[in-house]
Amino acid sequence: MEEQITRLVDKLKNKVSELQPGSRYLVAISGIPGSGKTTLALAITARLNASHAASNPSSPLLAVYVPMDGFHLTRAQLSAMPNAAEAHHRRGAPWTFDPQKLLDFVRAMKDPARGTAPGRRLTTRSKTRWRM
């Protein structure tokens, strides 16, 4: 996996170097539960930020990991479903996410003034807002 991470990071560094100042580049990783999406995303994010910090020590982070956890349907929305017990039990299944919330977020990222993204701290599972 190390070779793939290095290859992806190199491709992303090249892409980022071509962007206009203030532009953003979104990368999505998809796969089945347990396939390593989070592991891959965190590794790429850490590597990009380490590389950027080495040559730009006073700059903000270059990359931010935005997990899908920020796009779950609310517990109230799950409770309103005809299969509420199953919806709560299966929270995290594709049909328990709010695709409109994700679409709104992606569209909002076009605005360079947009400053935060929803997320969860992996260590405590608490909700947070990541600075962009």
> What tokens does 81 get?
């479903």
- Work out the angle between the directed axes of helices 37-55 and 2-17 (0-180°, nearest 10): 50
pLDDT in tens, 56-70: 889 888 888 888 877
Residue 21 falls inside a structural domain: yes
Residue 70 falls inside a structural domain: no
> Between 86 and 23, whose confidence is greater?
86
Residue 129 falls inside a structural domain: no
pTM of the full structure: 0.75
Q: Which domain holds residue 34?
A: 1-65
Domain count, the chain: 1
Chain centroid offset of residue 14 CA: 20
Residue 116 falls inside a structural domain: no
pLDDT in tens, 100-123: 988 888 888 877 777 666 655 545
- Around Cβ 43, how many Cβ atoms within 10 Å? 19
Residue 16 falls inside a structural domain: yes
Residue 87: predicted pLDDT: 95
Residue 45 falls inside a structural domain: yes
Residue 35 falls inside a structural domain: yes
pLDDT band at 31 (very low <50, low <70, confident <90, very high): confident
Residue 53 falls inside a structural domain: yes
